[in-house]
Structure 1
Amino acid sequence: MELELRHFKIICAIAEAGSITRAAATLGLAQPALTAQLHRIERALGGPLFERDRRGARPTPLGELVLSRARLLLPAVSGLREEAARLANSAARPGDTPTRLRLGSATGPVLGGLVHQLTAAYPDLQVTPHVSWSSEDLAAMVAEGRVDYTLVGVCGDAPPPARPGLTWRTLATDPVFVLLSDQHPFADSDAVELADLADVHWGATPGDGCFADCFAAACARAGFTPRTLYETDVVSCIDLVESGDAVVLCQPMFRRMPGIVAVPIAGNPLRWRNLVGWHPESPTAAFSDQLIKLASAAYLDIIARSPRYTAFLERFPTFGVERYEQAV
């Protein structure tokens, strides 16, 4: 049997998990299938790689040798793939206006507006969007050269997704509003106290950051523990609000719909930073200033269509779009 990269990934996964069973769960394999694969790898290498008993799996001296090589090999191959993808996936030379642009985006209102701004400014530009709820996945796509830029959000002062080598700029900082039925007692309020919603169920779109923890901490400061936080897609969140089953945490630019309103939370206890990320060595990196400028314009257009958020920003000018000169 010829050894392949996947075999070295298996060896590392078993060593990190400390057992065949836990490694199988991590890799999404059945335990017997992983055991059979390990036996084939051991035969190819000439001896056992792990001592296995009821306490788990520990590397043998041969296993330690193979692991030391695998831990050098796998990152090197991953880095090669990332660099190759960044070059192969763009026909433009560094500094050129790109002929195509691949945009990643988490859930949020800006992507459509940015696509409009890009295609209006550059009619021949081919824009391809990629959407994911996971900011970490989107950052990985940028690092691996599968998208050129990504729009993600992070809670408060949380750092960007932990992918080394990427450049991040803040596009805007927003408060978190609550989405209510227009029949709700607080629907016409200038702001609603978080404590006044202590007995409701909650909804939000999913994410992989610290937002749920920050929300729980804000509720604790307001004197209560939230009953439930349903993490689901936008359409289901709207259904929950319309049915009166939940109050949904939302971005303030949420476009008003019949029967639904977005209301500020008194004291603005939760903030959301919208970021643009890219790899500084990608062929499209020189386009970053223009992309941020167009993303800012898209954001301002969205705010202009939200009278409630426009009025809010007049009272709280520290929120909203970053000045473009500061962002670049």
Structure 2
Amino acid sequence: MDLELRHLRMICAIAEAGSVTKAAAALGLAQPALTTQLKRIERTVGGPLFHRGRRGTRPTPLGDLVLARARLVIPAVNGLHRDVTAFVGSARPGQFRIGATNGPVSGGLVQRLATAYPNSPVTMHATWSADEICARVLDGRLDYALVGACSPSIPSPDAGLVWQPVCVDPVWVLVGAGHRLAGRDEVPLAEFAGERWATAPGDGCFNDCFAAACARAGFTPPPPYEMDVASCIDLVAGGAAVVLCQGIVRPIPGVVALPLEGSPLRWRHLLGWDPAGPAAAGGPEVAALAVQSYLDVVAIRPRFAAWLGANPGFGAQPVTPPLSAARVSRR
């Protein structure tokens, strides 16, 4: 693993907070996810960066060295990002460049933007990596990030973007039509103990959140197969695995989406942008169009729409002042 800017920001956050737990809350991460990332960073640099004791977390001599360099590098790179974003925005006006991970909103948002702004090109960069998208927004190659994260966390909290929630979906489970649970209206997560799982790749904390939900349900899942979405569906249809999915998932022949009792996992889509970049002024309007795009999809999913009607708090989210990492940590 190469040492990246986001790793330096994590190290600084831990030093400033005085504990990994407090730093995770400030960054909008699950504590186990930050601990795992810190161990990877320490392996990369060749030694421990922090002493952990009753009085909190203190830098080691190696940690002091890395922190001294990080506190010089981070402001310099932030300034470079601002200058590049301003230059690119002034040189290439009138565009909507969006990066998106897999979700229900991107197609409709492209259509709505093209309709509302017929003379402004709309481009979409699709990838499984939210971190990659956030990096592209910060360096001016994209205007907006349309990505997902476990609720209530935010993607790449150390990136410095602000976020507008678009929707909050329950996480359901896809099973084959012949699965033993396929006829149920909803199923406790515990009844999936012993199943094989498959998942699409991602770089957030979802796998950690899933493992924690399984632990609360009384079992430990085996490591999931990680593969593209189409291959996951093939495994489910063939009865070889089950897959976690968003409740708004489209109907798929041979596959059934089952709600989880009590909705132990939640997934939300967010639109993010650089608050210092030229696209920031249009952020709320683009977010509103994203919400409308989500509602368009709900309208053609009657089963999911009925579920939303019986479960307040899920579904489309009102456009409000965008979230930062600090605001998320207080929610």
Fold agreement, TM-score > 0.5: yes
Match for residue 89 of structure 1? 88
Q: Structure 1, residues 9-65: CA drift from partner, whole Å, max 9, x if none?
A: 9xx9xxxx9xxx9569xxxxxxxxxxxxxxxxxxxxxxxxxxxxxxxxx99xxxx8x
The 1:165/1:71 distance shift into structure 2, 3 A limit, reads: closer
Q: Structure 1, residues 140-179: CA drift from partner, whole Å, max 9, x if none?
A: 2212112111011111222442235321111111110111
In structure 2, give the amino acid aligned to 1:130: H
Q: Structure 1, residues 183-215: CA drift from partner, whole Å, max 9, x if none?
A: 223223211121221121011222222211111
Match for residue 230 of structure 1? 225
Q: Contact 2:190–2:217 (CA<8 Å) still a contact in 1?
A: yes
**Correspondences of 1:20-59 after superposition (within 5 Å):** none
Q: SS in structure 2 opposite 1:116? A: helix
Task: State whether structure 2 residue 298 is matched by structure 1 residue 303.
Answer: yes
Q: SS in structure 1 opposite 2:278? A: coil
Point out the more displaced range, 297-306 or 157-166. Answer: 157-166
The 1:204/1:99 distance shift into structure 2, 3 A limit, reads: same
Equivalent residue for 1:176, pick from 149, 171, 176? 171
Point out the more displaced range, 123-132 or 238-247. Answer: 123-132
In structure 1, give the amino acid aligned to 2:111: H
Task: State whether structure 2 residue 187 is matched by structure 1 residue 192.
Answer: yes
Match for residue 310 of structure 2? 315
Deviation at 1:126, TM superposition (A): 0.5
Distance 2:185 2:85 in 1: 48
Q: Structure 1, residues 299-328: CA drift from partner, whole Å, max 9, x if none?
A: 011111212211110110210011235779
Match for residue 96 of structure 2? 101
In structure 1, give the amino acid aligned to 2:215: A
Distance 1:81 1:285 in 2: 17
Task: State whether structure 2 residue 266 is matched by structure 1 residue 267.
Answer: no
The 1:170/1:80 distance shift into structure 2, 3 A limit, reads: same
Distance 2:102 2:94 in 1: 26
Q: SS in structure 1 opposite 2:157? A: coil
Deviation at 1:86, TM superposition (A): 1.0
The 1:290/1:167 distance shift into structure 2, 3 A limit, reads: same
In structure 1, give the amino acid aligned to 2:301: S
Bigger radius of gyration, 1 or 2?
A: 1
Match for residue 41 of structure 1? none
In structure 1, give the amino acid aligned to 2:85: R
Q: SS in structure 2 opposite 1:284? A: helix
Deviation at 1:92, TM superposition (A): 7.1
Q: Contact 2:130–2:156 (CA<8 Å) still a contact in 1?
A: yes
Distance 1:145 1:211 in 2: 27
Number of matched residues?
Answer: 269
Distance 1:174 1:205 in 2: 17
In structure 2, give the amino acid aligned to 1:312: W
Q: Contact 2:154–2:163 (CA<8 Å) still a contact in 1?
A: no
Q: Structure 1, residues 225-271: CA drift from partner, whole Å, max 9, x if none?
A: 11231222111111111111100000111110211121111110001
Q: Contact 2:169–2:268 (CA<8 Å) still a contact in 1?
A: yes
In structure 2, give the amino acid aligned to 1:126: P
Match for residue 13 of structure 2? none
User: What TM-score comes out, normalization by structure 1 length?
Assistant: 0.74
Q: SS in structure 2 opposite 1:172? A: strand
**Correspondences of 1:110-259 after superposition (within 5 Å):** 110-259=105-254
Point out the more displaced range, 223-232 or 270-279. Answer: 223-232
Q: Contact 1:92–1:283 (CA<8 Å) still a contact in 2?
A: no
Distance 1:327 1:87 in 2: 21
The 1:216/1:70 distance shift into structure 2, 3 A limit, reads: closer
Q: SS in structure 1 opposite 2:218? A: coil
5+ unaligned residues in a row in structure 1: which ranges? 1-8, 25-57
Deviation at 1:88, TM superposition (A): 2.9
In structure 2, give the amino acid aligned to 1:225: T
Bigger relative contact order, structure 1 or 2 (CA pairs below 8 A, ≥6 apart): 2
The 1:195/1:70 distance shift into structure 2, 3 A limit, reads: closer
Deviation at 1:85, TM superposition (A): 2.4
